[in-house]
Amino acid sequence: AQSVTQLGSHVSVSEGALVLLRCNYSSSVPPYLFWYVQYPNQGLQLLLKYTTGATLVKGINGFEAEFKKSETSFHLTKPSAHMSDAAEYFCAVSDQNKLVFGAGTILRVKS
């Protein structure tokens, strides 16, 4: 079965600093990979996805992620953090007809 590991349940960065949220996956087939963001008491919003093709994927709000098959990774980055980026971020991998999510990483942005 597919699985996702997100390294670091909490990440803290200063406003304007680089954001790096780590995601490693396990999949027996070529994966489809997703990053979602969740604000308090809200549902999940899709940031970006990788299906096939270019391994560097750009998403909304300046986020991007790179699919590295050799490392089984799909880390999320943003060059400059903004206060509004403070939220919980989930990495997910497709597993037949559903998504398997990691445990999430809470991003804190310090002013």
Partner 1 sequence: DTGVSQDPRHKITKRGQNVTFRCDPISEHNRLYWYRQTLGQGPEFLTYFQNEAQLEKSRLLSDRFSAERPKGSFSTLEIQRTEQGDSAMYLCASSKDRISYEQYFGPGTRLTVT
- Which residue ranges make up the site for partner 1 (CB under 8 A)? 4, 9, 32, 34, 36, 41-46, 49, 51, 90, 92, 94, 96-104
Q: What minimum distance in Å lies between the beta carbon of 69 and partner 1?
A: 17
Q: Which is nearer to partner 1, 17 or 32 (CB)?
A: 32
SS3 84: helix
Q: What counts of helices (H) and strands (E) characterise the chain?
A: 0, 11
Beta bridge partners of 22: 7
Q: Which is nearer to partner 1, 4 or 13 (CB)?
A: 4
Q: What minimum distance in Å lies between the beta carbon of 68 and partner 1?
A: 19
83 phi/psi in degrees, rounded to 5: -55, -35
Q: What minimum distance in Å lies between the beta carbon of 36 and partner 1?
A: 8
Query: Largest Cα–Cα distance of the chain, in whole Å?
Result: 42
Amino acid present at 49: K
Q: Which is nearer to partner 1, 69 or 80 (CB)?
A: 69
